[in-house]
A and B are shown apart, each in its own frame.
Chain A
């Protein structure tokens, strides 16, 4: 390795002075033979165009037009010569310059195929694209207050399914490009920021279950923070999502889940700098009416008493009768809700849940400020951006804040050598909530799920906690968990134009993340009370560097042909390390640092991987009609066994621009028509353990030599070797069409794809009599098939009024084609992955109906019969064989609709996202339906839907008679908790007003725009919980979505903002 770095370095060292020297030597040979002055304007508006590139045909020398659209060209060439003038969004023109000054009028490109698209290791015009790529302009989404840019993309890109996992800003996002291909490896796409492969996984551990007082990862209740939230959306220029194999194969083993290429803002200005400032302020609130309906104290007690008596009838040996019901007064009339024997009569009970919910929810404030300066000269251009963003969650005390600095620099060191630097530095800070699994320290859980009849405080006002829940107010007032992330993403690169058509590019990039997580539970909290205060403080680093070299070449081939190729290599290394510190036993709540703790433990962990790659791409086009492209990548990874270190990922694609054929020339109605087809193989090994192929013994197994000796080192088997472990690979076939009608007033893009994943990486259960429970193996085959349709229309376009609509819809059908042993997820095995079924399916006992005579739940059984029984104590024991795979957490289709209207100085944007056909287990309702039956009564809330329980013969309901005996409630995975999670959400609505120039110039500003934006204003869904979208757990490697554990819903927010440019 050292050799290699040294080699690369030496190569540069050898080359570099040569260029500089050569340059100097050549300088005197340059004679200025002509000076050309000119101006570039828009054909329609006659306004100057700033930043257009003016280049002399045949050589690379180019200049940019300035703010007034003017340029000056000094060159050794003599007039006349041909100029090529190009600008994004305009048709490129060739003009023969005969004399100075010259005025060039550019036409706005009528053809969508002229757009420049960022692809792997380069850019291409849209016409040359043979793969499937979605482009999103960051400006469209950056003001949606969800902190991370991936969450903002929801509904914007066809084929990309995005769900926020809770309404807490900065929390993790579930993103799937064309479905899920893997069970145990990651399904997250590869993120690339300005050429740097970045880590998109939070350094928080979603599956942390560290024992109390022990050093280790912090438990956030199966939630993660978003690592993408480290990047400020205000610095982003555009986002491209590469979807098919042709587009992603150049990323080889990391391309199977799609690639998200993020391009940050750069300047191409000359002269006076431009300053862009944006300010917005706002607030966010949950819709209280949308929260769960919780039974009142009286209803609660009634149901518990009823369950008690019914159970006594069903099983007399329980001795449960009306005489000894849990909710009654003592013979002397005294009672107290917390008393185990005399809780008081049902009518005595109060409802404290509304108080608890009030303690938790707030109106959060949202602040966002960013400032950017763009400028430069002929030689050097810079973009410097700074931003600050702070968002309160609607649930106390969670919040998110980010400070970010961005500095991009590009400089020409000589005519043919340029050097660039991209830097992104940010710090995010979050006050966090533990939610999800387990009641301890869960704020929302303590507010919602504590039995409503139990008071919040005693008679003298001291906070009380009950069952296994914390006191809500104590948690709210003692923020217990916080995390911070320091992030640097940047690279330095060198471009050498070896020949007019041969470019050498080299870059060295770094992604560094310093992540700190802390928790402190004082003695007032449940966790801290038994340990005299408990704290954790962990420092986790992730750093990766990547070095890449590419050589790209293009040339004409024959009369009408053009060929270009790219070859390159990268080397990459990733290192993760963690230091854990934990303490228990603090002198008092005033002492918060672990050094004061009486018991201190520590831990350390580390993991590394490396990847070496070679890749190439060859593109050929003939007459701008026929395009052919082949890419290939070879990846070598440290993660795999000696036999399978290297993986090879080829792809091929072709497109036919039908519109450029003679026979379509006269069809004016069709302005664009292009057909695409591609096939290729990509791989995936992301997310698996770096050492998964090795047989290992852990050193974490100390034990004393004698009771008083203290621990001595110990070792224990950790995992079995799998020397055959290899790449998971996905073969993907894509067919696409791009069509434009009526001068591209209507644009349509349709893609059909089929993905087949082989050798899927799987933690295959092995007989645990081996001493191990699972082994990572290549054992599965998964198929994803789907379609994506995007339609954008310009509905009305007049001088003062413009209305455009973008619509997209995508459907994906996932199926597991091979899986030897079904794998279940989540406690109680609610979810299952099984052969012949889609991933993320639910595994349930199917309740057919509630028998109207007896009130007993009747389930479907494996033999095709039912568990129907006339007695109150049905003896039909249901087993796993009777469970049915039904319902799925993934939607049938999803997408978004955006409407933009510009009327004079007003702009109006309405964005709707939708999802159809995803199912949700309303886990909260499940928990809220079983309070009569545990041996300890009434230790959680009861949801109001249980009031519909069967009580009288003849009653038709789907809520069975309450009893702790038999199947009614002891069969837990009941299909009646499965709900339709389809939704349509008015994601955002923005109204803006741009002040007239006559006003702005007076105050020396170029542009001033004021806007109001509302987010999550409307939600249409049949789902009975507050939000059908947040039911996402990141634990279990993302394999347990669609279980609504009671996380805070996405808030409704209103923001006021100001954009200023000067």
Chain B
């Protein structure tokens, strides 16, 4: 009934040898599986095509990180309200931030994700072969521009932050680096924008960095550096290109019409990559304009045609900056109206009140409001503050400008000056002990 022991022994030997042989030869192969929806970081940037992929991805990272940051800044500007009950969001509204606020970590992480990715491009692309010098310059210029935006946001939000100009290959690369003072960070932004301006072509593209968009951003930066002369010059150099960049009429056109001349730089969205702010503003969303901004926008003497920013759903008044029903509207990052206000402010500081009022009135008349008569005193700053608030009612403008001009204390009742900066997130201090908390905030939270 059973087989002879010899035969069995032979067969067993055969099975064992055979199996082992196969195992040793192919086990490693069996256990090596590469993903099909991602590539190794080793081969992410190897040629012209993969470099442009990485660059587009860098814009996407920037675009995806905007909504949480912008809403928190809008809340800090006190012109919107939060319909949910999370105390973290209310901290922005009430200016009672503690460093354990989760949103801070999100803002921090999003900006550094943009920076790390730009650093990858800036470190890999210079060595690439088979790519034209012209295209190489453009890619590098765009990466400098993106890194500049991110460091600009970090500096004006958190103040002193760590400057990293190389990509992360291992976590240990980024441990123990001390923070650079805010001025140095802003100076790095200036360097990045200068590099971008020298490398970028002077073409028209409203959702990618160009020479003009970098100049526009730099003019905003010069306000923070109190360099009025340079701010005016940069603003003028974009405004003067009026065939490409101008105030659109009516006001609502800048957010209802795609690719319009008002926009200098915007972040693009699509069905697959929807605009996060859209769902925040929509019916049932987490944010709404508050009563004070609603009454200003509805005031024919103040809001003018800008009341189009409001829309009604049932009994509720909603923000209307992203009116399409599928979240594909772009988010403007800098537009012509801001350049007029920048130039007006710079001109006022330079003593050119006529020019300042002229710029202010351009913004006003576009909103169907009467001109304000020229007066040669500092009341212009007050006008600019009020105009900016309404012109950029649903954009993250007011908080940063009131902080920059030192007016947040009197306008927003932020009595403690240290609150002009957000605290460094606790989670980051825990992960990297070398980080130092901003003054005024508790070191561990």
Contacts and interface: CB of A to CB of B under 8 A. Distances in A.
B373 interface: no
B349 interface: no
A701 B31 contact: no
Going nearest first, the 5 A-B pairs with the smallest beta carbon separation are A771-B116, A714-B56, A701-B57, A768-B109, A716-B57
B60 A714 contact: yes
A715 B25 contact: no
A767 B63 contact: no
Given A11-B14, A612-B31, A766-B174, 17 more contacts: A212-B274, A213-B327, A468-B84, A529-B283, A585-B326, A606-B36, A697-B44, A701-B56, A705-B205, A715-B39, A715-B53, A717-B117, A770-B112, A773-B109, A880-B445, A930-B85, A935-B90
A109 interface: no
Contacts of B273: 214, 702-703, 711
Contacts of B88: 828
Interface stretch (A115-123, A135-143, A301-309, A688-696): A688-696
Contact of A716 (B32, B61, B162, B164): B61
Interface in B84-109: 84-88, 90, 93, 96, 98-100, 102, 105, 108-109
Given A338-B315, A707-B206, A720-B171, A877 B61 contact: no
A645 B31 contact: yes
B41 interface: yes
A706 interface: yes
Given A698-B38, A767-B428, A708 B56 contact: no
Interface stretch (B16-24, B299-307, B363-371, B385-393): B16-24
Nearest to A708: B259
Contact of B1 (A1, A317, A415, A775): A415
Contact of A703 (B42, B105, B170, B268): B268
Interface in A497-529: 497-500, 526, 529
Contacts of A532: 325
A663 interface: no
A498 B167 CA distance: 62
B413 A317 contact: yes
A772 interface: yes
Interface of A: 1-4, 7-8, 10-11, 14-15, 18, 22, 26, 30, 59, 211-215, 317, 338-340, 415-416, 440, 467-468, 497-500, 526, 529-532, 549, 551, 569, 571, 584-585, 599-601, 603-610, 612, 636-638, 645, 690-691, 694-708, 710-718, 720-721, 765-773, 775, 821-822, 827-829, 877, 879-881, 927, 930, 933-936, 939-940, 970-972
A530 B325 contact: yes
Interface string B122-144: 00000000000000000000000
Contacts of B206: 706-707
A639 to B, nearest CB: 9
Contact of B59 (A317, A530, A714): A714
B151 to A, nearest CB: 11
Contact of A721 (B26, B41, B112): B41
B33 A608 contact: yes
Contacts of B112: 768-771
Contacts of B90: 934-935, 970
Contacts of A704: 56, 207, 268, 270
A934 B54 CA distance: 42
Contacts of B181: none
A1 B86 contact: no
6 contacts: A211-B276, A211-B327, A699-B39, A710-B270, A711-B270, A714-B57
B271 A599 contact: yes
Size bin of chain B's contact surface: 35 or more
A924 to B, nearest CB: 13
Contacts of B105: 768
A798 B285 CA distance: 70
Contact of A213 (B36, B86, B326, B432): B326
B274 A214 contact: yes
A217 B37 CA distance: 16
B258 interface: yes
A498 B4 CA distance: 10
B444 A880 contact: yes
Interface in B41-57: 41-42, 44, 50, 53-57
Interface of B: 1-3, 8, 11-12, 14-15, 18-19, 21-23, 25-33, 35-42, 44, 50, 53-61, 63, 81-88, 90, 93, 96, 98-100, 102, 105, 108-109, 112-113, 115-117, 119-120, 161-162, 164, 167-168, 170-171, 173-175, 205-208, 258-259, 266, 268, 270-274, 276, 279, 282-285, 288, 290, 315, 325-327, 330, 413, 426-428, 430-432, 435, 442, 444-445
A4 B22 CA distance: 5
A213 to B, nearest CB: 6
A600 B271 CA distance: 8
Contact of A768 (B205, B208, B431): B431
B75 to A, nearest CB: 10
A827 B86 contact: yes
Contacts of A638: 30-33
A829 B88 CA distance: 11
A767 B41 contact: no
Contact of A3 (B25, B116, B258): B25
A219 B46 CA distance: 38
A708 B113 CA distance: 26
Contact of B271 (A214, A694, A971): A214
B26 A4 contact: yes
A317 to B, nearest CB: 7
B173 to A, nearest CB: 7
A740 to B, nearest CB: 40
Given A606-B36, A935-B290, A711 B272 contact: yes
B87 A828 contact: yes
Contacts of B276: 211
Given A214-B271, A767-B432, A7 B19 contact: yes
A707 B428 contact: no
Contact of B272 (A3, A214, A636): A214
Given A714-B56, A879-B98, A939-B83, A821 B430 contact: yes
A883 to B, nearest CB: 9
A978 B56 CA distance: 48
B123 to A, nearest CB: 13
A936 B291 CA distance: 11
A725 B56 CA distance: 31
Given A711-B270, A716-B58, A695 B174 contact: no
Contacts of B205: 705-707
A415 B317 CA distance: 83
Contacts of A930: 85
B87 A702 contact: no
A107 B108 CA distance: 75
A949 to B, nearest CB: 17
A835 B99 CA distance: 22
A644 B87 CA distance: 44
Given A703-B268, A717-B120, A765-B427, A877 B96 contact: yes
A707 B170 CA distance: 36
Contacts of B42: 695
Nearest to B80: A935
Given A212-B327, A608-B33, A879 B445 contact: yes
Contacts of A59: 1
Contact of A767 (B82, B102, B174, B288): B174
B124 to A, nearest CB: 12
A706 B42 CA distance: 29
A28 B313 CA distance: 91
A761 B421 CA distance: 36
Given A877-B96, A881-B445, A707 B271 contact: no
B374 to A, nearest CB: 36
Nearest to B176: A767
A315 to B, nearest CB: 10
A713 B428 contact: no
